[in-house]
Structure 1
Amino acid sequence: MRARKAGRITPQVSARVAEHIERLISEGSVAAGNRINEAALAERLGVSRAPVREALRGLEGKGLLTKIANRGTFVRELSVKEMLDIFDMRALLMGYGAERATELLNEERKRVLARLLDQMDRVAKAHDGTRYYRLNLEFHTAIITFSNNRRAARVYEELAKDLFRFRRNYFDFSPNMARSNAEHRAVYDAMVTGNEREARRLAEEHVQRGKIRVLQTIGP
């Protein structure tokens, strides 16, 4: 990304900066409570500080960052109560998404989900928590997308971003990856057999179990 020029800020540059910051947060490179160094980020990405500021404002509006007067912009710390509430909302959305996606399932969509399941099995065996985390997001997002409800997909995406800081680390524990993907396969099996209610139940249960696993990793 090389756009170090004064003048008009292009939405494309700001969007790429925002994506980079989100990736840093999701990968754990920038932890909750850490300050975002605007100058260092601009230098690293080869852009002026203007698109960085624009990106920070956008992420602040999404709730990922918080600005403190005379101190700077920080990765927002999510309370455990907020985290639990978001998991509950995700469970409802995933249940809805799985039920609707089952109704609309076709061979191409089955192949997409089956491929992601196989990839998650491989990276779980390789103990690659970072890669598993990304594939897990793809699997969940695919199911929501296959519900053909764009509003639900947008809401789910925002909820998933809010949980970056909690969910990424617990996949570093290999048994969590194996359990998670076994639950994914149960949801998939219900979907391919056309059992809409069971797909909904299992998808909701999967997210709730994920909540419990996260709680176990962050301690009391």
Structure 2
Amino acid sequence: MREQEAYSRKTLREIVYEELKSQILKGKLIPGTRLMEVELSKKMGASRTPVREAIKMLAEDNLVAIEPNKGAYVSKIAIRDLLEILEIREAIDSSTSYHAAERINDKLKKELKAAMENYNKAAERRDQKNMIKWDTEFHRIIVEATGNKVMVHIAEEIRELVLRFRYLYYGGFKRCVHVGIEHKAIYEAIEQGDARKAKIVAREHIRTIRDDILREYENF
């Protein structure tokens, strides 16, 4: 009986954790929002214990800050964290694009083109949700095209870190124009099998994003 109860508590904790994590990553819970256990318990139909445990797990992910005598808050997004993520992405994206150009098959070429086109359609509609969806899918397909299982695993680990950043970045729709242009350059290099060019344009894509951030947060 005790084991079943413990399992139920753990399951509920995980449900609360995943829901809160999703809301933070997608910007529904903005930085600085206070996480009140009583309020969250009512909203999520859970007792305070799994909510409290979920908040502690989010703190371990650095998505929540817990301050003594003040409570828990959604953590702020530090410019240094964004730049560190982009530094990793520059290395990964340039490498995966290079190898994708060497190894991509016809099926994945079609999928990559479709992801690029669907992103552009979403950008025209200013549809943030689908812009993020197809931007993520575009880069996921490139990683898959490498055929490198280790690279796929590493990219999946980075993808979640990037998600919160994507919602912040796409808050300004003016950026979606150059993203679509850069996706096209990456796609064309990969489709043509030009590994060297694919690596260069993928690297420049991430550097452009970095420059955007530095301009926007130059006072940090």
By the TM > 0.5 criterion, same fold?
Answer: yes
8 Å CA contact retained: 1:105, 1:146 = yes
CA separation of 1:66 and 1:175: change in aligned 2, threshold 3 A: same
Greater per-residue helix proportion = 2
Q: Which residue in the other structure is 1:146 paired with?
A: 145
Matched, 1:88 2:90: no
Q: Which residue in the other structure is 1:67 paired with?
A: 66
Matched, 1:39 2:35: no
Q: Any residues of structure 2 matched to 1:1-220 within 5 Å, and which?
A: 7-9=6-8, 13-220=12-219
SS at match of 2:104: coil
Task: Identify unmatched segments of 5+ residues in structure 1.
Answer: none
For 1:172 and 1:80, locate their aligned partners in 2 and report how far apart those are by CA, in whole Å.
Answer: 16
SS at match of 1:32: coil
SS at match of 2:146: coil
Alpha-carbon displacement from aligned partner over 1:55-112 (angstroms, at most 9, x marks no partner): 3333322222232233333222232223212211111111122122233311221222
SS at match of 1:47: coil
Task: Identify unmatched segments of 5+ residues in structure 2.
Answer: none
Give aligned-pair identity as a percent: 25
For 1:153 and 1:59, locate their aligned partners in 2 and report how far apart those are by CA, in whole Å.
Answer: 25
Q: CA deviation at 1:157?
A: 4.3
8 Å CA contact retained: 2:79, 2:217 = no
| Matched AA of 1:31 | I
Q: Aligned Cα RMSD in Å?
A: 2.7
Q: How many residues align?
A: 216
Larger Rg: 2
For 2:186 and 2:142, locate their aligned partners in 1 and report how far apart those are by CA, in whole Å.
Answer: 10
Alpha-carbon displacement from aligned partner over 1:101-150 (angstroms, at most 9, x marks no partner): 23331122122211211111111111223331232222223323433445
For 2:215 and 2:11, locate their aligned partners in 1 and report how far apart those are by CA, in whole Å.
Answer: 40
Alpha-carbon displacement from aligned partner over 1:22-59 (angstroms, at most 9, x marks no partner): 33223322122322233333332333344434433333
CA separation of 1:217 and 1:161: change in aligned 2, threshold 3 A: farther
For 1:177 and 1:204, locate their aligned partners in 2 and report how far apart those are by CA, in whole Å.
Answer: 17
| Matched AA of 1:25 | I
8 Å CA contact retained: 1:166, 1:214 = no
